[in-house]
Amino acid sequence: MAAYAYHSNRSLDNYNFNNALLPYHFADPRRLLLNPSPAVVVPQQPPVFLVNHILSPYNPSPPPPPPPPGPPFVFIPLNPSVLIQMEEERSMSLRQLIAEEGLLPSADEEEKRRDVIQKLKQIVMAWVKKVAWQRCFPKEQIAETSATILTFGSYGLGVHGSESDIDALCVGPYFATMVEDFFVVLRNMLKSRPEVTEIHCVKDAKVPLMRLKFDGILIDLPFAQLKVLSVPENVDVLNAFFLKDIDETSWKSLSGVRANKCILQIVPDLEIFQSVLRCIKLWAKCRGVYGNLNGFLGGVHLATLVAFICQTNSTGSISSIISSFFNTYAFWPWPKPVMLHDSASPAGGYHNETRSFMPIQLPSSQHEYCHSNITKSTFFKIRAELLRAHNLTRDLLRPDFDWHILFEPFPYSRKYGRFVKVYLSASNQDELGDWTGWVKSRFRSLILKLEEVQGLCDPNPCEYGDMDAAEPNVVFYWGLQPGRANYLDIKYVEKDFVENINKGYQGSPGRMELSIIQASQLSSNAQSDTGTWKRTKACWKINDYHQPRIPVYSQHLPHYIVGYLEAHGHANYSSAGG
């Protein structure tokens, strides 16, 4: 192995790093005698010869001897162990950066999360036996019934942080329904627990779920129904037996768990995969390309992309795999899909043929792709950031290499001269959180409309606040490429988007205003690019504070109330499933 001298012509402003080998260049003299052709009359002039592309009169004296040939490049032999040590030092410095950024939860935080999951498992076990009793099952069958909780997302992959939420799937047997048993019976059982606060039902999402806080930890809880009487605690969701004849909603709910399990089976070194994924997520957040709601990459996208690189670099270190990640995807021939090949993946199932700028196949199925909100604008931004990261990490062993440059915050205030200001407000902080989540769930339509009337835009996921406003608010500043910005265009976009977000919202909608501002008008924290990247979950507001409630009667036991629903929005709801 050898190290080579290099030339580094760096321009941090343009993120253009050109590193190349510098050989010693020698031009061997070549004399080209221009003899006249018999058919052409040439004026009598001294003959000339060409030396290094410069014409000079011919000198009949012998030319000086050429200098001795130099080496084509500077060759400095290094012991392979030295290079290995240098690469390990790069990996160690990266691990230190992960710790400094607070990406690793403490032992107490880990224990708290495990305790929450265990309590949820106990609750759903009691829930399923209660539902079986409501169905008048024999005592023997009630004793056999069971349900379980399966985690997925960042927690399931082991890459969660100290403030991360938990994605947990409730898996129930064939007789437990979503409408009556999950959204009514289980919800009421959870609501009665002192550890549970802020529980909401998100029924109209692509994957219906409950959203709650358990001991202060935010939990997303979807539901899947398997055609079995008893669900094992660690049910194998890749086993075709358990997936037989399930409904489409359950299939979608299971996709996250199945994808996680496939990834964990595929990656050759789990610890390296987790470290790399933490770093890639940090890079994506710092550079403004993380967040599915804003049209960028989500958690499942990054996990699949990292798993693909780990699979093809089974013996690589953390630093070398990160370098390979950016080298691979900076030049990936999109829209060619990224696919993980896993023989354990079950065939069939729900077919998702959604087209995308960056199709990424879920590892658990031949027919499913990661849901994507990527648009033309966000695709260009992602590609540009991948190329910048590749230029930064392709020479990891150079003496002046610094990981911190890779994670520098994206300079929005210096990059763009104009911005779309998205202003959201509500009467109190709780309503603002729900309103913001609802509006963000429809951001893709706003991005597409801005592309239509304004050109390319950069929807910065960071949330800011207007300190001069009296009401609770959240502000987004989206960078605009030079285009057709004018007052009428943005007001047309605002009117169209307000009509979109006011449809279907349960509760009192807040305010949403759009305006075009100059970079000099940005708030102070936006001008210094110190906004907070905050993942506000898409939320459908279903509050029950001081709301009149109506009983929900069982379809299986006469006059038996399985739970209560708020009267708001459910005036015609007389029985479960009715």
Checking if the pLDDT of 44 tops 70, the result is no
Query: Is residue 97 a part of any domain in this protein?
Result: no
pLDDT band for 385, please (50, 70, 90 cuts). Answer: very high
Q: Could you tell me if 519 and 578 lie in one domain?
A: no
Checking if the pLDDT of 180 tops 80, the result is yes
Checking if the pLDDT of 51 tops 70, the result is no
**150: amino acid identity, one letter:** L
pLDDT band for 7, please (50, 70, 90 cuts). Answer: very low
Range with lowest mean pLDDT among 142-151, 207-216, 437-446, 499-508? 499-508
Number of domains in the chain: 4
Checking if the pLDDT of 29 tops 60, the result is no
Query: Is residue 14 a part of any domain in this protein?
Result: yes
Q: Could you tell me if 471 and 550 lie in one domain?
A: no
User: CA 207 to CA 223: how far, in whole Å?
Assistant: 9
Residue 253 contacts residue 223 (beta carbons within 8 Å)? yes
Report the chain's C-alpha Rg in angstroms: 31
Query: Is residue 85 a part of any domain in this protein?
Result: no
Q: Could you tell me if 520 and 550 lie in one domain?
A: no
Query: Is residue 535 a part of any domain in this protein?
Result: no
Q: Average the pLDDT over 375-398 and give the result.
A: 95
Checking if the pLDDT of 370 tops 80, the result is yes
Q: Could you tell me if 423 and 390 lie in one domain?
A: no
Checking if the pLDDT of 472 tops 80, the result is yes
- Parallel/antiparallel/unpaired status of strands 166-172 and 217-225: parallel
Query: Is residue 52 a part of any domain in this protein?
Result: yes
pLDDT on residue 503: 87
Residue 283 contacts residue 98 (beta carbons within 8 Å)? no
Q: Could you tell me if 191 and 171 lie in one domain?
A: yes
Residue 178 contacts residue 249 (beta carbons within 8 Å)? yes
pLDDT band for 405, please (50, 70, 90 cuts). Answer: very high
pLDDT on residue 296: 98
- Tens of pLDDT, residue by residue over 336-358, are 999 986 444 444 444 444 468 99
Measured CA angle at 163 (ends 158, 164), to 5 deg: 45
pLDDT band for 68, please (50, 70, 90 cuts). Answer: low
End-to-end CA distance of the chain: 73
Q: Domain span at residue 434?
A: 412-527
Question: Domain containing 208 — which CATH number?
Answer: 3.30.460.10
Measured torsion, CA atoms of residues 468, 471, 476, 479, in degrees rounded to the nearest 10? -40
Query: Is residue 532 a part of any domain in this protein?
Result: no
Residue 17 contacts residue 8 (beta carbons within 8 Å)? yes
pLDDT on residue 78: 60
Residue 299 contacts residue 258 (beta carbons within 8 Å)? no
Q: Indicate the residue among 406, 432, 455 that finishes a domain.
A: 406
Q: Could you tell me if 58 and 137 lie in one domain?
A: no
pLDDT on residue 263: 95
**57: amino acid identity, one letter:** P
What angle, 0 to 180 degrees and rounded to 10, lies between the N-to-C axes of helices 80-100 and 318-330?
Answer: 80
pLDDT on residue 203: 86
Question: Domain containing 442 — which CATH number?
Answer: 3.30.70.590
Checking if the pLDDT of 129 tops 70, the result is yes
Residues of the chain with pLDDT > 70, as a percent, come to 74
Q: Could you tell me if 178 and 210 lie in one domain?
A: yes
pLDDT on residue 53: 43
Q: Could you tell me if 374 and 496 lie in one domain?
A: no
CB atoms within 10 A of CB 91: 19
* Nearest one of 116, 96, 119 to 108, comparing CA atoms: 116
Residues of the chain with pLDDT > 90, as a percent, come to 58
Query: Is residue 538 a part of any domain in this protein?
Result: no
pLDDT on residue 76: 56
Query: Is residue 89 a part of any domain in this protein?
Result: no
* Average pLDDT value for the chain: 81
Whether the upstream peptide bond of residue 335 has omega within 30° of 0, thus cis, is: yes
pLDDT on residue 448: 96
Q: Could you tell me if 569 and 519 lie in one domain?
A: no
Q: Could you tell me if 390 and 444 lie in one domain?
A: no
321: tokens are: 């795999």
- Distance set, CA 69 to CA 23, 30, 31, 72, 73 (Å): 12, 15, 19, 9, 12
Q: Indicate the residue among 352, 372, 406 that finishes a domain.
A: 406
- Tens of pLDDT, residue by residue over 266-318, are 999 999 999 999 999 999 999 999 999 999 999 999 999 999 999 999 888 99
Checking if the pLDDT of 528 tops 80, the result is no
- Tens of pLDDT, residue by residue over 413-461, are 999 999 999 999 999 988 898 899 899 999 999 999 999 988 899 999 9
Q: Could you tell me if 263 and 305 lie in one domain?
A: yes
Q: Average the pLDDT over 109-125 and give the result.
A: 97
Checking if the pLDDT of 545 tops 60, the result is no
Q: Average the pLDDT over 118-133 and give the result.
A: 98
Q: Average the pLDDT over 225-253 and give the result.
A: 95
* Nearest one of 195, 200, 202, 189 to 216, comparing CA atoms: 195
Q: Indicate the residue among 78, 96, 117 that finishes a domain.
A: 78
Residue 178 DSSP one-character state: I
CB atoms within 10 A of CB 28: 9
Counted residue by residue, the chain has a size of 578
Q: Could you tell me if 439 and 578 lie in one domain?
A: no
Residue 406: CB partners within 8 Å, gap ≥ 6?
283, 389, 392, 393
